[in-house]
Amino acid sequence: MPRLYLRAKEGEAIDRVKGRASLNGNRPLSRLAEIAVQFADNERSGSLRALGADVPAPNARQYLVDVSVPSAAPDPIEMLHRGWDQQVGGVMPIPPVTSPPGVDADYRVRILHSKVDDAVVEDLYSEAIVGGTGGRFNHMNDRVVVHLVQKGEWRFSGLRDPDFVSVGSDQLCIRYNNPPWQFEIDPATRAQVLVLPTTELRPLVGDRAIVSSQTDPEAQLLMAYLNLLRATLKDLTDAGVRAARNAMMELLKGVLAHRVVVDEPQLFPALLQAAKEVAEAHLLDADLAPRDLAQALNVSVRTLHRAFAGADESVMAYVRARRLEQARLELAASPNRPAVSELAARWHFSDSSHFTRAFKQRYGETPTAYSRRAGPDQGHAPDHT
């Protein structure tokens, strides 16, 4: 792929040094950097203008950028800039980037950008790229930035520290972004990126890059809350957005301190979502109980019950409902449908009669009736009642 360079500062070039991207303002400009500076000059002179019809309003809460650059593009830099500017204009900053050595493939970046008061949450997909952020890269300076990598790998190094910090799948990294950082992204990387104000977080972060596991209870609470926030952000009032921002900051403080105090009602939605996700992964466990969920999330059983009570549901009522739904799906999808007694045993109902009564109460018909209605009778689901 032709190398890409976005919004280079005049007089600065990204050169390859020992296989890494590094900023160097003293060496003669490479042809790539010359093109980038020329592009920046053209942009300042107005010869490259954003196509304003599709650019989101500055006060929009959510917007999407999705730009692809074919490997055979004659001018990939201009193509990428034009695509980016057409979609989001100047409301989303672009870091200076270039492609890794030896990569000759199409490039794509897709970002769902969500503004949460003075914070930002981004859901990102990117092909392989290298670049810089913070410091003299002049990108997201004086912010705390969090990367929660879902697939692939994201690597960082400070200009004064030659060692990479690797953030792989199921890990997260928290950094103060004012010092300059170099980064590398693996192909087909997916991540959530939080860009946060520094006042409350800087004392806990310092200038280091903190890497931890997404399986930690505090991280699970944060991720569950982010999923909930993405689904509800557009419908929140301005006061609701501010409250959502504050809840997100408190949960991140919990990640940093390895302890989240979730007795505040504003954090109950995050706890509720996280508890449901843990329960979903353990529906087949015969002994699944509220104490297990509370222990997994490092909260008290009392606090867990309070979170579910806010949704007018008990912990075990939710578990039973999810088990019934899994049994219903088996009846609808199985080529050879299991017997009611098998379903009752697998999903931990005391006996077939108990399972049949619970199924009929929830879905309005017995398992056998539902099985017959769902499709041709290819197996058996005898109703033992």
For each of the domains in the chain, give its residue range(s) and CATH number, in order of start: 13-214 (2.60.120.10), 221-313 (no CATH), 318-374 (1.10.10.60)
Tally the C-alpha atoms within 13 A of residue 351's C-alpha that lie toward its C-beta: 3
**Strand ranges across the sheet with 209-213:** 62-69, 107-116, 119-126, 189-196, 144-151, 171-176, 209-213
Residue 87 clears pLDDT 80, i.e. is over it? yes
**Residue, of 236 and 27, whose pLDDT is higher:** 236
pLDDT digits (tens, 9 = 90+) for 100-145: 777 778 899 999 999 999 999 999 999 998 888 888 888 888 899 9
Taking all residues of the chain, what is their mean pLDDT, rounded to a whole number? Answer: 79
Residue located via tokens 């009736």: 369
Integer Cα distance of 343 and 204 in angstroms: 50
Residue located via tokens 């539902």: 370
Q: How is residue 145 written in tokens? A: 């930035």
Global pTM reads 0.65
Mean pLDDT for 331-348 is 86
Coil, strand or helix at 102: coil
Report the greatest alpha carbon distance in the chain.
85
Q: Residue 8: what pLDDT?
A: 31
Phi and psi at residue 177, to the nearest 5°: -95, 15
Candidate from 176-180, 230-234, 289-293, 334-338 with smallest mean pLDDT: 334-338
Q: Residue 291: what pLDDT?
A: 93
Residue located via tokens 């300076």: 141
Four-residue CA torsion sign, 156, 78, 191, 143: positive
Confidence of residue 151 (pLDDT cuts 50, 70, 90): very high
* Cβ neighbours of residue 258 closer than 8 Å, sequence gap 6 or more: 216, 218
Confidence of residue 99 (pLDDT cuts 50, 70, 90): confident
Integer Cα distance of 359 and 370 in angstroms: 10
pLDDT digits (tens, 9 = 90+) for 237-292: 999 999 999 999 999 988 988 765 666 677 788 789 889 989 999 999 999 999 99
What are all long-range contacts of 37-46, with beta carbons under 8 Å and residues at least 24 apart? 37/8, 37/10, 37/11, 39/8, 39/77, 39/78, 39/81, 40/7, 40/8, 40/9, 40/10, 41/10, 43/81
Could you tell me if 78 and 32 are in contact, meaning their C-beta atoms sit under 8 angstroms apart?
Answer: no
